[in-house]
Structures are given as structure tokens and as C-alpha cells.
Structure 1
Amino acid sequence: MRLLILGTGKMANQHAVRFASLPGVHLVGAVDTDPVRLATFCEAHGIGRAFSTIEEALAWGDFEAVSNVTPDAAHYATTMACLAAGKHVMCEKPLATNYADALTMAEAAVKMGVVAMVNLSYRNVAQIHAARELVQAGQIGTVKHIEASYLQSWLVSKAWGDWRTGQQWLWRLSKGHGSNGVLGDVGIHILDFVAFGAATSIEDMTCRLRTFPKAEGDQIGEYHLDANDSFVMTASFSSGALGVIHASRWATGHINELRLRVYGDKGGIEVQHTHLDSHLRVCLDDDVETGTWRTVEVLPVATNYERFVNAIRLNMQTEPSFRHAAELQRVLDLASESEEKREPQTV
């Protein structure tokens, strides 16, 4: 399979390494508006063709699939161009910056009959797949309550680098640079973690967003630091459960941690994923009476990169799909609306 890398920033390097490691996948071209970054990327990954626009790359056209690693605001226009040319696309999250555009992209992918997948990277966590299987098998009974969080500390510590001086972090704090803050950046990850792991979807919710002072005048250079830093969401789910979902970049002591707890009338499960490791714990059967939790060992699962390539080879769709990502974007849009109106929003 011949693959084009669209966008050559930091995350693109991971895409290039992951795809290049798969048998039969060849990185044949790359696109970026920054010629220096583009040249450096192509040299690092042995890519022979370099293009300054997606239009130039599509005019050449000697590739079957595209890995879209452009900034969030560019996902819509670049992906739509690739879909119109009949190319398979893996797009970084979020699929778009609003539900209307995301839905249009999902519908275009279906119309063109191509494989269209969103890189919700925590689908690579084997424990969340095992949790979903337990829920679907009825092992914890009827789900009553869900609790989920995504906690980061990079506004507190320098474990990720210094956000005050790093452009790769500052844009994430600025609405004017295309950021929807923690809600748009990591909110989509924890919403997917919940929807997939608990095998359910949000029906209605209320959300509160908060932006905290971070610099004098809330400004650093060209960056106005006005994007949200934390959110708290209460939700009702299609399974009938009630739940709380929250995320923050001010979570001191948590470099990068996702946690999901799902409680049913027969048992409970907990998934914890950090930058170091992942764990699945369960409280089932007789352990319910003593509140005993046990760690469950799970087997690895195929990565998003592997699933994307296999889906193309088998000519079949795979998850997480554009349609699924569009539905997540709908929840994110309604979360912002809930904050503006200070009232619940029905999904």
C-alpha cells in the first residue's frame, strides 16, 4: 500500500514510524506548507516526494491512502479533497472543528466507498477492549453509574516541556489559533473512552467549562490564552446509566491519565491508562460482598494503524469511523452550548 503523509509536524513522525513498520506499507509522499519542516521530515523517513499543497499531491496521485496529520482547523478542507479523489483516509482527531463539517465528511466517505478512520489513539489500549467485552457480556449486570476522567498536568509541571515557550502547547490554549481547549483536545478522547469501554452513548448532558489565568493579561506573544483548561460534564446514557466525565490540564501529579469506572448491579470494572502502563480491575461475583478488586491480564489488540491498513486490504470499513467521530463532535459542540446557555442539552 502506498501512503501519503499530510502534515509533517510532531505527531506526523509517529504516524510515519508506525505505518512504515507494517509489512507492505510504503511512505511515498508528504505534504506541508513549511518547506524546511517538510524537507527534514522526508529525509528522516526516507520519503521521496514532497509537496507544498494537497492539490499538488493529488495531481500526482500515485498513492492509495492518506494519513492526515494537519492542524485541527485544516482537517475538513484537506480530507474532503482526498475523499473527492477516492483516497482512503486516516484523520487525526478531532475529525473537524464542528459537527456540521464532521457529518459532511462522514457522508462524503460513505458516498465514495473508501475506508475513513479517525485516529482516536486510546483505542490501542487493550484493557478498554476487554472492559467493553465484559459490559456487553453482561458480567457486571445492568450498568447504573459511570465515572470517567482525563487528567494532565502540563500546565503545572514541565514534564511535557514548558508550555510558556513552546508553540506546540501555546496554540492549544488559544481560541484564535483554532483550539477548543481541553474540551476539544482531550475531551474527544475521554468521550470515546467512555462510549467504547462502557458500550453506550450520551443521550443528554450538562457541561461547565473553566479557563484559569495563566499569564499577565492572559497573553503570551501572539497567543491569547482564552481556551478552556478544565471541564466537568454530567450525562445520562443510552444504557440508562448516569455518569460524570471530567478533564483538566491542571491535574497536579497526573502527567497523562485516563480512567473509566463502570458500575452495574452485579459488579464493577475499572480501566486506568497512563503514559507508563495500563490496568483493568474488576469486582465480580463473590468479590462484590467484600469489595475486593482483582487485576485482569489482557492480550494486546491491533493498533489503529494496523486496523486502517487491514481494512483497506479487505475492502471493509473499520472503527473508529468518521461517523462515530462526528457523533462525538456533536457532543462536544453541545457541551460548549451548554456552558453558554447554562442549561442541559439533549443529544
Structure 2
Amino acid sequence: MRLLILGTGHMANAHARNFIEIEGVTLAGAVDIDKVRAEAFRDKYSFERAFTSLEDALAWGDFDAVANVTPDGAHHSTTMKCLAANKHVFCEKPLATNYQDAMEMAETAETSNLVGMVNLTYRNVAQLQTARLLVTSGQVGKIRHVEASYLQSWLVSKVWGDWRTESQWLWRLSKQHGSNGTLGDVGVHILDFVVFATDTEIDEVFCRLKAFDKADGNRIGEYQLDANDSFTMTVSFTNGALGVVHSSRWATGHVNELRLRVYGDKGSFEIQHRHDGSKLFICLGDDIETASWKEMEAEPVPTNYQRFAEAVGQGRTLEPSFRHAAKLQRAIDLATVTEVDRREHRLGSA
């Protein structure tokens, strides 16, 4: 597979490092509107070519697939151009900034017989994959209740740099720069974490959003800091379970932590995924009578990058697919609506 990486920001480095290790993958081209950045990225990872526009790269066309690592607001327009050029696409999350655009991307990829997959990175967590097997094998029983959180602290600390001075973080706080805030940025991750582990879908959502004051006039330079920093959400699932999901960038002491607790009528599990490691704890069988919890080991799993390369090689889309990401975006869109009209919404079919 010959690969073009579109965008050379923070996450593009993760794409390059992972794809370069996969046998049969060639880093064909890199694209960035800044010529200096594009050429520096090309030289750092030994790409064949560097471009300052997607159009120039598509005119060249000597590649099979695109890793789309542009900002959220550019995912739809750039992916549609790649699909029109008959290129497979591995897109960063969220797939799009609204459900309509996400579904258009999904349907176009499907009708064009092209691979369309989304980098929901926490599918790479082995403990998540192992927990799902506990559900699908029936060991947890019927799921009744779910608790999930995604906690970050980059608005409190400088562990990833100073958001007050760096555009790579400031745009995530501004609606006019294409951000849907914490809900749009990491909400898609924690919702995927939940529905994948529990082997179910979201039925209804009810959400509250909050953007806190962060600067004078809530503005830094060209960035109006109006995108939500925190959300709390109640969820009902198609398997009948109820759940609570929340996230914040103000979670002091939590660099980057996902936590999921799932309670069934035969047992429970808890996943803790932090920046420094992951753990899976289970309470099953006789242990439920004594409320005893044990840590369960998990075998490594293929990464999304490996699965995308495999999918292109096989000519068929694997999960997480564009359509799956569109369903998550539907939930996120409706969550935003519930903040306005103060009532629960049902997703319906997608």
C-alpha cells in the first residue's frame, strides 16, 4: 500500500511512526499548506514527495490510500476529494463535524467500493478488546448499567504544552475554527469505548455542555474560546442498559484517562486506560458474592493502522468504519440539541 499523509500536525507523527513499521506500506507523500512543514515532515520520515495542496498530490496520484490528519472541520471536504479520486481513506476522528457530512462520507466510500475507516485509537487497547469478549461470551450476563469517563487536564497543566500560546490546542477551544469542543473531540472516543466494549448501540441521549471562562473576554488572538470544555451525558442503550458518560479538560491530576465500568447480572468489569498504562479488573462467578476483584491480563491486539493496511490489501472495510463513526456523530449531534431544548432525544436508525 502506497500511502499519502494529509496534514503534518501532532497526530500525523503517530500515523507516520505506525505505518512505517508495517510491512508492505510505503510512505509515498506528505501534504501540508506550509511548505517548510511539509518538507520537514517528508525528510523526517523519508517520504518520496511533499506537497502544499491536496489537489497537487491528487494530480500526482501515485498512491493508493490517504491518512487524513487534517483538523476536524476539514475532514469532510478533503475526504470527499480523496474518495472522488478513488483513494482509500483512513480518517482521524471525528469523521466529520456533523452527522449529515459523516453519512455522506460513509455512503460514498461504500458505493465506491473503497475502504473508509476511522482512527478511533482506543480500539488499540488490548484490555478493551478482552472486555468485549467477556460480554459477547455471556460471562457478564445482561448489562444493566454503565459508567464511563474521559478525563484530561491540559487546561490545568502544561503536560502537553501551553494551550494559551499554541495553535494546535487553541483551535480545539474555538467553534469558528471547526471545534465541537470536548464533546466532539474526545466524546467520540469515550462513546466508542462504551459501545464497543458492551457490544451495543446508543438509543437515547440527554446532555449538558459547559464552556468555562479561560481568558479576558474569553478570547486569545483570533480564537474565541467558546467550544465546550466539559460534558455530562445520560444514555440508554439498545440492549436495555442505562449509562452515564462524562468528560472534562479540567480534570486536574488526570493527564489522559479513560475509565469504563460495566455491570451485568452475572458479573462486572472495569477498564482503566491511562497515559502510563492500561488495566482490566473483573468480578465474575463466585467472586460476586464477596465483591472480590481481580486483574485480568490481556494479549496485544492489532492496531487500527495495521487493520487499515489489512483492509486495503483485502479490498474490504474493517471496523471502525465510516458508518460506525457516523452513528457516533449522530449521538454527538443530538447531545448538542439536548443542551438547547432540555429534553432527551432518540437516535433512530442510521
Q: Same fold (TM over 0.5)?
A: yes
Equivalences for 1:57-68 in 2 at 5 Å?
57-68=57-68
Residue by residue over 1:85-121, the C-alpha shift from the partner in whole angstroms, topping out at 9 and shown as x without a partner, is 1111100001011000000000000011011100000
Distance in 1 of aligned mates of 2:305 and 2:313: 13
The answer to whether 1:173 aligns with 2:150 is no
Which residue does 2:8 correspond to in 1? 8
Query: C-alpha distance in 2, partners of 1:129/1:326?
Result: 21
C-alpha distance after superposition, 1:33-72 (max 9, x if no partner): 1111111111111112122221211111111111111111
- Determine if the alignment matches structure 1 residue 39 to structure 2 residue 39: yes
1:20 aligns to 2:42 (yes or no): no
TM-score (norm: length of structure 2): 0.98
Match of 1:106 in 2: 106
Partner of 2:164: 164
1:208-223 to structure 2, matched below 5 A, reads 208-223=208-223
CA distance in 2, matches of 1:23, 1:125: 22
Secondary structure (helix, strand or coil) at the match of 2:30 reads strand
Q: Report 1:326-337 matches (<5 A).
A: 326-337=326-337
Q: For residue 316 of structure 1, report the CA deviation from its aligned partner.
A: 2.0
Cα distance in 1 between the residues matched to 2:5 and 2:211: 34
Partner deviation per Cα, 1:65-84 (whole Å, 9 max, x = no partner): 11111111111111111111
Higher alpha-carbon deviation: 50-59 or 78-87: 50-59
Counterpart in 2 of 1:97?
97
Residue deviations 1:132-151, cap 9 Å, x none? 11011110111000010000
- The CA distance in 2 between the partners of 1:283 and 1:10, in whole Å, is 38
TM-score (norm 1): 0.99
1:198 corresponding residue in structure 2: 198
The whole-number CA distance in structure 2 between the counterparts of 1:62 and 1:95 is: 25
Supply the distance in 1 between the matched residues of 2:160 and 2:29 (Cα, whole angstroms): 30
Equivalent residue letter for 2:302: A
Structure 2: distance between partners of 1:207 and 1:142: 25
Query: How big is the alpha-carbon RMSD for the aligned residues of Structure 1 and Structure 2?
Result: 0.8
Which residue identity is paired with 2:2? R
- Name the count of aligned residue pairs: 347
1:159-203 Cα deviation digits (max 9, x unpaired): 121111111111111111111110001000000000101111110
Question: Is residue 182 from structure 1 mapped to residue 179 from structure 2 by the alignment?
Answer: no
Residue of structure 1 in register with 2:225 after alignment: 225
CA distance in 2, matches of 1:91, 1:81: 13
**1:287 partnered with 2:275:** no
Partner SS state of residue 283, structure 2: strand
Q: Structure 1 unaligned segments of length 5 or more: list them.
A: none
- In 1, the alpha carbon distance for the partners of 2:212 and 2:325 equals 28
The equivalent of 1:125 in structure 2 is: 125
Inter-partner Cα distance in structure 2 for 1:182 and 1:322: 21
Secondary structure of residue in 1 paired with 2:55 = helix
* Matches of 1:192 and 1:75, distance apart in 2: 19
Residue of structure 1 in register with 2:49 after alignment: 49
Query: What is the one-letter code of the residue matched to 1:99?
Result: Y
Distance 2:283 2:35 in 1: 54
3-state DSSP of counterpart to 1:233: strand
Distance 1:166 1:49 in 2: 28
Q: Which amino acid letter does the alignment assign opposite residue 202 of structure 2?
A: I
Alignment of 1:268-287 (within 5 A): 268-287=268-287
Measured after TM superposition, the shift of residue 292 of structure 1 is 0.5
What secondary structure sits across from 1:281 in the alignment? strand
Q: Distance in 2 between matches of 1:42 and 1:269?
A: 44
SS in 1 for 2:308: helix
- Measure, in 1, the Cα distance between the counterparts of 2:113 and 2:336: 32
Q: Which runs of 4+ in 1 moved over 2 A?
A: none
Letter in 1 for 2:297: E
For 1:268 and 1:89, locate their aligned partners in 2 and report how far apart those are by CA, in whole Å: 37
SS in 2 for 1:206: strand
Percent of matched pairs sharing the same residue? 63
Which AA in structure 2 matches 1:273?
H
- Separation in structure 2 between the aligned mates of residue 236 and residue 196 of structure 1, nearest angstrom: 15
